[in-house]
């Protein structure tokens, strides 16, 4: 464990303690039942806007908790599977605390961080959480085939995670010259890369590169992206910027909905008052 003493005096400073607040940027399924909803302030915000909130000082970051790949011979770690908003947090945080994992893939792009910037770290050699591909139903495969029929060869894809995006990815195996510029991706895209459907050759922005802010999947995926120059993870403020996205050809977004009303309006973030 790294035992830098810099910053310890600040922990005991009463003014520092007064300024400290916990900000949660995404409430996943594993946390929803543990939140005290009577005391939570909710700030609706696009993921792409969070880096700007941090860098502008609107949401000051006291401590950034990061997962890093081990430093290379020059002392550079990477943010591994999740660059998205962690890149901005690492830029502005008063204190950086890191867990360094030997199994964390070293991924090219914006996620490089020199070990000298880390105030405290601990090395933990445990597996990276995996998200296996869904076992698709006949209905999901049918939906995937209908959706895939709308995708042109040479299109640039954005997709989410879940059974429907997985079903569409499976049905796209016969396409060619697809490109990836997406918030996140998983093993469904990896299968398309290995099948030759995705080569990123027609993209205008980062041609030849699979571009994202973060990724989640299996060990096979993590081994594929490790030190792979064809894969780049970039700041989510850039990846999700419409001005960047629109420069690519035939951009096609594939996502799931929570609810759709009779007029065709789609809701993807809440049911009634439940976020």
The catalytic residues are: 183
Residue with tokens 């543990």, as numbered in its chain: 34
Task: Measure the CA–CA gap between 110 and 90, rounded to whole angstroms.
Answer: 11
- CB neighbourhood size of 88 (10 A): 23
Helices 163-171 and 187-195 sit at what angle, rounded to 10 degrees?
Answer: 0
User: Do 231 and 225 contact (CB within 8 A), yes or no?
Assistant: yes
Q: Which of 111, 161, 95, 175 is nearest to 132 (CA)?
A: 161
Asked if 67 and 98 touch (Cβ cutoff 8 Å), the reply is: yes
Largest CA distance in the chain: 62
DSSP string, 61-85: -SEEEEEEPPP-TTSEEE-TTB-TT
Q: How far apart are CA 229 and CA 79, in angstroms?
A: 15
């Amino acid at each position: 464990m790294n035992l830098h003493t810099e910053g310890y005096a600040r922990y005991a400073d009463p003014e520092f303690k007064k300024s400290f607040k916990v900000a949660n940027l995404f409430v996943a399924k594993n946390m929803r039942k543990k939140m005290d909803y009577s005391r939570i302030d909710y700030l609706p915000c696009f993921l792409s806007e969070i880096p700007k909130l941090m860098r502008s000082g609107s949401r000051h970051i006291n401590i950034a908790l990061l997962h890093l790949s081990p430093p290379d011979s020059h002392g550079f770690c990477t943010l591994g599977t999740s660059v998205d908003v962690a890149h901005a947090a690492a830029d502005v945080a008063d204190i950086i605390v890191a867990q360094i994992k030997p199994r964390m893939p070293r991924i090219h792009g914006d996620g490089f961080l020199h070990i000298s910037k880390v105030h405290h770290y601990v090395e933990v050699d445990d597996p990276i959480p995996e998200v296996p591909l869904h076992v698709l139903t006949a209905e999901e495969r049918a939906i995937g085939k209908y959706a895939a029929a709308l995708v042109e060869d040479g299109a640039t894809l954005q997709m989410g995670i879940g059974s429907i995006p997985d079903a569409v990815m499976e049905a796209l195996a016969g396409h060619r010259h697809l490109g990836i510029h997406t918030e996140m991706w998983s093993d469904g895209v990896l299968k398309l890369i290995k099948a030759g459907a995705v080569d990123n050759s027609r993209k205008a922005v980062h041609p030849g590169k699979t571009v994202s802010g973060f990724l989640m999947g299996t060990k096979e995926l993590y081994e594929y992206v490790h030190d792979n120059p064809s894969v780049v993870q970039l700041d989510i403020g850039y990846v999700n910027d419409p001005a960047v996205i629109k420069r690519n050809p035939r951009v096609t977004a594939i996502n799931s909905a929570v609810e759709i009303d009779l007029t065709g309006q789609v809701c993807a973030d809440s049911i009634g008052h439940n976020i």
